[in-house]
Structure 1
Amino acid sequence: MHIKSFRIDISCSGAQFGFATTFQKGLNIIRGSNSSGKSTIVNCLLYSLGMEELVGGKGEAALSYAVRDYVIHDDKKHHITESYVTVELENHLGEMSTIRRWIKSETHNTKLAEVLESPMPGSGTRRTSYKFIHDNYSAVYQEGFFTYLEHFLGLNLPKIHDSNGKQVKLYLQAIFAATAIEQKRGWTDYIANIPYYSVSNARVRVVEYLLGLGVFDQESQRMELDLESISLNNDWTSKQKELSSQAALLRLNLTGIPNKIASDFDQNNVEALRSANGEQSNLYTTIATLKKQYRDLELAINPDSGSPNSPISEELQQQTALVTKLVGDYETSLSNFTIFNSTLSTHIQIKAQTQEELTRNKTTKKLREYGASKHLHAASDSCPTCHQHIEDSLISINLTGTAMDIETNIHYLESQAKMLAKQEAGLELKIRDAEIICQNFSGQLEKERSVLSSLRKDAAKGNIVSQAAVKKQVLLEWEIERLEDFSDKLEDALADMAKLATALKVNQDKRRLLPKDRYSEEDKRRIRRFAQHFRGNAGEFDYHSADVADIVFNEDSLLPQLSRLELREIMDSPSDAKTKAQAVRNGNMAQNSSASDFVRLIWSYIMALYQTASSGDINGNHLGFIMMDEPGQHSMATKSQQALFRMLASQNNFQAIVAASFDDLDAVFKESTEGVKFKYIHLEEKCIAPFQGV
């Protein structure tokens, strides 16, 4: 990322104030006294990029009164009527983007960013669009500012888990916390001011991303494998419960099927057993035994001649009529069940389309509200090019009749969504009722058909049969049919469960291929390179509280440490550097750097992130941009500052912006920048001054 230019425009009644400058690649130094407004420029720059959370808040409230309330000039207060910032960016592809964001305006919402994008190929015109910022989904929706900025900068921010286990994006603001260090809190930690998004170890995740570690890919793979294993187990449990329930209704006991899915499942070990007379028999033996009993009953029946008018004949007619009626009832219930399912499917599709259209309308409304300016033609339903009327609707302009405006359309869609939700709930109840009715008719039909089959056999033989024998025979036939049907279902289900078990084994094999440690060997190589750059930088910046050669990196925290103690600032420690280092080695100090030395460590850390990420054999995800506000904290030695500036100026494909006062001394400035190539931006008494120009 390269910031090419930046400006602040302020309108007061009868006067224009502001600030404007350009930046070059390499090092840019903004010099001014402590009251000149250096931090105002830095903070406004962050605001123009939507990053004011790094300063301590969202929106214009994070900025100085000098850009949102009033300007003091010639000992007079000039109250601000409108103010905005404009920043021009260049990405790694050489594409340009100009972003304007309002600080105070009666016509523009401060949550609206105006974006002037690079011209389309073959066209000289640049497209203007409006993006909403610091609102729900501004990092998700295409119309969101952070989504736009992420894509423009060529980033692909990974998904991580928050403290509640929910999957969220590693937001752009967290990345900028490692590249833009403001004055007040930025020098209190290695990467300070990361906004809180319920993400555990956010600083570690930022470092992992900037260094391009593979941990995100590994976590994504683990997540996919976890989701797959959960899905496999759910399918398994569903089939296991269904089989167990059906088996229980048939007085069968299933063995060999574990409650949870197992990769070593063998369907040949599954048995369906029934106890009878103190003995157990499997399903096939049970069916064979029942069939023998059925045949024995048939042989034991006493035939007795009958006629068409015999009781058997009458019963046969009645049973036929009953079965015919049940067939009609069953087909009607099955038709209702199918229709309800089809209707529900259609409702779900319509509901999804309604929700999608509602989202588009709400997004359009939000952009219109944020940009509801008298100066925005599109916001007032007028084309900015031809000034013709634009319909306040997403409906095709080819439709005849009066179209609803966005507000009415949103109200209509919300009402439709509620109505569809109620209808969907009602349909689900109808489906459950229809399914139960259908199952009841099906069971009753099977039973009556069995009776009819027996009666037909008896009538054909001309026998008058014992009712007890008929009843036993019918019940046996019905039970045999149910058991045979269950046998077929069991065979199919076991084949499916065997496939699930095989899929689980593949899942487990893939999981074994993932690194056992959090970091792969390639990740560890990058971390070692990071530590190497850090130690080199610390030595270059004249860190002297301890021997830099003894500094190692903790792989859990990705922070430097000595003798297993994290390197921090000493609040009350021996004054002699050698004594300090010895105390650390002896394990007597949990914090082991002077205040200025700790700032040197932060410099080293921030620079090492870029140096490692930009290495030819690493290809990390750094923005190639660093901004520092008053890096010379705690009366930092000019020698150390000079080393920092030389390092910032010597990096390739890199831009640094540094705001510093240099203790308001020309000698300190000259000594700190001696031999350093940079663009000099000198501030007068106040950076916000009477301002004219384009």
Structure 2
Amino acid sequence: MTFKLRRLRLRALTEEGWYGAEIGFVNGLNVLWADNTMGKSTCIQGMLYVLGLERMLSPRREIPLPHAMTSYLTTDSGKNVKVLESDVTLEMENSAGTIVTINRPVISKLDDRLVTVQFGPALSDAQGQFRIQRFFVRDPGAAQREDGFHHFLENFLGWELPIVRGYEKDEIKLYLETVFPLFWVEQKSGWSSIPAAIPTYFRIREVHKRAVEFIAGLEAYNIERKREQLNQRLNALTGKWELRWLDLSQHLARAGSRIEAVSQKPTADTDSLASGFISVATTAGWVSLDDHIKALKTVLSELSETAVPTIADNVPEIEAKLADVTAQAEGLNIQRLSIHGISQLKTADVDALQRRIQSLKEDLAKNQDVQKLQRFSGVQWSLTPDRCPTCEQALQDTLLSQNALAAIMPIEDNITYIKSELRMFEDILQRENEEEREREGQLSQLNRDLSEAYSRIRTLRADLISTPNSLSASAVEERVLTERKIKDFADIQTVFDDAIAAFSEMSEDYIQILQEKSSLPEDELSDSDKSKLQRLSELLRDQARQFGFITFKPEDLSISTDTYRPEKEGFEIGFETSASDAIRLKWAYQLGLLELTTTHATNHPGVLVFDEPRQQSSSKISFEQLLIRAATAKHRGQQVIFSTSEDLSILNPITDRIDCAKIVFEGHVLQPLAMNQA
């Protein structure tokens, strides 16, 4: 997951011929020196440009290169010459040893969104013949589609940038432009923040955290994402379970039945599902469906063993049954009207309860707001009827007896009292709803029994006016009705069994979700993450001490486990540091990320680029220590590139003592080229 910058070439065709520069980079520290305004930052920005990363600097679509590459360049003699064409070429190598040479036009007949890649060291081996492929950049799809350059570059680097949450989109890619600032600091805005000046206009939530998590290889976001996905699965499962339970309950209610011993919410107790059953409303009360079906089968067996009588042999019995069924229908109707009347009264009670609960919730919110204002202001108000709670002036209410004034309940006690009232009324409402569901089941059963009674009355009356030798239709209907009841209840049992099977499957999913949640760390950080942040804190303190950080003791510095920024005693470091100490802290942070790869697996590319690292007049000693520390990258196989205009009288003694490559431009970086060089 590392890469190295091998060679950079800048070329500009002017009215006076070709100008350009070619720079080679090596492992370890590379110090690029040129005087101010001579073009060293052009080299740094040119590398960003050829990689299509200009939106790391600004959301504008303008070319981020100075006039020397876009309009005119100044020669060493001070003459300005017009630029006709220009381009940037960069040769780089990944950790697999694959070398590519990337070219992008600046001023050209070609569109500057075109990137040409040669698969080989085309700058190091100018005579080589290499495969060429073209890509597009800075257009939609450049990071996702196969012909997009950033899609290619991501694969070349061996990265797999995560999908994160955005403000407008639930899922958005963590773009390269948000990651590179953690190891590539450009001069204009790169030094403005710690850990990095990461662009926010991509509308990525907590983009700084996401970028650090990726570079440091932290598992935190994956843990957070996994927990969020599990919660979403849990919510979906809960909704599915509750909907299935409600559908089953309504289906059974239409048959005068109800669910027993089955939870309305997901449960991990699969044994409780096996013990669930159906109750049926009868004139004798609620009985289990199994017992009710057994009773019906007994009745059917008795009826089947008896021959169907003729009307002539059964007139007295028919008349008696007609009287009994008529009386039964009248009794059922009275019960139905009574329950219906109770339901209407209870509906009014439920409405009143709901209004009361809503009122209590509003009162609770108001009291909690008052409590919050008290806490914020640091004042505990004493509310009494004879004093204004706002201005504390005495009030004389002549409509009330002044001897009747009493202390008003403190706000904390008032909140506690309202909460207890709210719980009480919610419990009452829950009981009322349960009783209403039971009444609905009873009404459904009564309506079914009434329908059967009226049907039997019609059949019995038809028997009484039929010919004497006819078979009793009422006796036949009783058998048919009993058989139908048995079949209908058997169908209900089948529906219930299917629902229990579905609940059992959902219960297994519920158990799996709970197990996956329990396997996640209690907080967002894994043990590996904590180890990395602890090591990064150690590196931060060590380097802050080495670079001369003096605002407070370097021992007090650490990396926040929440924001991943430097903090002191749990508080993020803000304006309390001096400007030069802020720069030292940034050096320490980004070098720390680079050195972290020595002890921990990260996604850091092993490259660090600083454009003018000596900001805010950092002391010579600090700058010297920075170069010394950066030079240690060589033995780790890493690469550091610093561009600077530091006085050579200061720089040379330092670079002479350390192992580094020094690239010095005495004049302008862009110099006239011979014909064979162009």
TM over 0.5: yes
Q: Deviations over 1:537-567 (max 9, x none)?
A: 1111122222212323332222333344433
Matched, 1:131 2:135: yes
Answer with 680-689 or 292-301: which moved more: 292-301
Counterpart CA distance in 2 for 1:547 and 1:236 is 57
Aligned counterpart in structure 2 of residue 510 of structure 1, from 485, 491, 516: 516
Secondary structure of the 1:177 match is helix
Shift of the 636–301 alpha-carbon distance from structure 1 to 2, 3 Å rule, reads same
Q: Does structure 2 retain, via aligned residues, the 8 Å contact 1:32–1:38?
A: yes
Q: 1:666 to 1:76 in 2, by over 3 A?
A: closer
Match of 1:87 in 2: 90
Can you list the C-alpha shifts for 1:559-578, whole angstroms capped at 9, x where unaligned? Answer: 3333444334xxxxxxxxxx
Question: Are the equivalent residues in 2 in contact too, given 1:236–1:500 (CA < 8 A)?
Answer: yes
Q: What's the C-alpha RMSD, in Å, of the aligned pairs?
A: 3.0
**C-alpha displacement at 1:38, in angstroms?**
1.8
Which residue of 599, 604, 623 maps to 1:641? 623
Q: 1:63-88: per-residue Cα shift (whole Å, max 9, x none)?
A: 32332334345666554443322111
CA contact (8 A) 2:309 2:475 kept: no
Larger Rg: 2
Moved more, 26-35 or 481-490: 481-490
Q: Does 1:493 align with 2:499?
A: yes
User: Are residue 263 (structure 1) and residue 268 (structure 2) matched?
Assistant: yes
Cα distance change on mapping 1:302 and 1:117 into 2, 3 Å: farther
Residue of structure 2 equivalent to 1:282: 288
1:135 and 1:252, CA in 2 relative to 1: closer, same or farther beyond 3 A? farther
Q: Is residue 2:648 matched to residue 1:666? A: yes
Alpha-carbon distance in 2 for matches of 1:465, 1:37: 115
Match of 1:484 in 2: 490
Query: Contact conserved, 1:212 with 1:613, CA < 8 A, in 2?
Result: no
SS in 1 for 2:101: strand
- If the length of structure 1 is used for normalisation, what is the TM-score? 0.67
Q: 8 Å contact 1:114–1:129 — kept in the other structure?
A: yes
In 1, distance between residues paired with 2:283 and 2:567? 75
Residue 93 of structure 1 aligns to a residue whose secondary structure is coil
Post-superposition CA distance 1:99-155 (Å, at most 9, x none)? 122223333x32332222359xxxx97432222323333222333222221221112
Whether the 8 Å contact between 1:638 and 1:672 is mirrored in structure 2 is no
Work out which of the residue numbers 155, 178, 194 in structure 2 matches 1:190: 194
1:272 to 278, 287, 311: 278
In the alignment, is the contact (CA less than 8 A) between 2:163 and 2:174 conserved in 1?
yes
* Cross-structure match for 2:557: 551
User: How far 1:475 sits from its partner (Å)?
Assistant: 5.2
Say whether 1:204 aligns with 2:209: yes
Asked if residue 110 in structure 1 is aligned to residue 116 in structure 2, the reply is: no
Match of 2:389 in 1: none
Corresponding residue for residue 148 of structure 2 = 144
In the other structure, the counterpart of 1:246 is 251
1:655 is aligned to 2:668: no
Partners of 1:138 and 1:464 lie apart in 2 by 90
| Residue identity matched to 2:267 | A
- Residues 1:650 and 1:75: Cα distance change in structure 2 (over 3 Å): closer
Are the equivalent residues in 2 in contact too, given 1:207–1:609 (CA < 8 A)? no
> What is the CA distance between 1:48 and its match in structure 2?
1.3
Equivalent position SS for 1:493: helix
How far the C-alpha of 1:660 sits from its partner, in A, is: 0.9
Displacement after TM superposition at 1:691 (Å):
3.4
- Aligned partners of 1:625 and 1:654 also within 8 Å: yes
- Cα 1:600–1:690 change in 2 (3 A) is same
Residues 246-282 of structure 1 show CA distances to partners (whole Å, capped at 9, x for unaligned) of 3234332223333331223511342222222261122
Q: Which residue does the alignment assign to 1:21?
A: 23
Q: Which amino acid aligns with 2:196?
A: A
Matches of 1:174 and 1:531, distance apart in 2: 23
One-letter amino acid of the structure 1 residue matched with residue 181 of structure 2: A
Query: Per the alignment, in what secondary structure is the counterpart of residue 115 of structure 2?
Result: strand
Deviations 1:265-311 (A, max 9, x none): 51134222222226112222333344455566665844599xxxxxx
Mark the runs of 5 or more structure 2 residues left unpaired by the alignment. Answer: 122-127, 313-468
1:673 and 1:561 map into 2 onto residues whose CA distance is 33
Could you tell me which amino acid in structure 2 is paired with residue 55 of structure 1? L
Say whether residues 1:98 and 2:80 are aligned partners: no
> Following the alignment from structure 1 to structure 2, what is the Cα–Cα distance between the partners of residues 691 and 58?
32
* Structure-to-structure mapping, 1:343-382, within 5 angstroms: none
Specify the code of the residue in structure 1 equivalent to 2:218.
L
- Match of 1:236? 241
| Cα distance, 1:563–1:510 mapped onto 2, change above 3 Å | closer
Counterparts of 1:200 and 1:168, CA distance in 2:
10
Query: Is the 8 Å Cα contact of residues 113 and 138 (structure 2) preserved in structure 1?
Result: yes
Aligned equivalents of 1:660, 1:59: Cα separation in 2: 27
Partner-residue secondary structure (3-state), 1:62: coil
Cα distance, 1:554–1:125 mapped onto 2, change above 3 Å: same
**One-letter amino acid matched to 1:614:** T
Contact kept in structure 2, 1:28 and 1:678, CA below 8 Å:
yes
Q: Deviations over 1:620-642 (max 9, x none)?
A: 22110011111111222222111
- Residue identity in the other structure for 1:48: V
Q: Deviations over 1:381-406 (max 9, x none)?
A: xxxxxxxxxxxxxxxxxxxxxxxxxx
Length-normalised TM-score, structure 2: 0.68
Give the number of equivalent residue pairs.
506
- What is the match of residue 5 of structure 2? 3
Say which SS state the counterpart of residue 259 (structure 1) adopts.
Answer: coil
1:222 to 223, 227, 248: 227
Question: Counterparts of 1:493 and 1:84 in 2: how far apart (Å)?
Answer: 69
- In structure 1, the residue matched to 2:590 is 606
**What SS does the corresponding residue of 1:61 show, helix, strand or coil?**
coil
Q: Distance in 2 between matches of 1:231 and 1:143?
A: 38
Q: Distance in 2 between matches of 1:92 and 1:226?
A: 39
The answer to whether the Cα contact below 8 Å between 1:60 and 1:103 also exists between their aligned partners in 2 is no
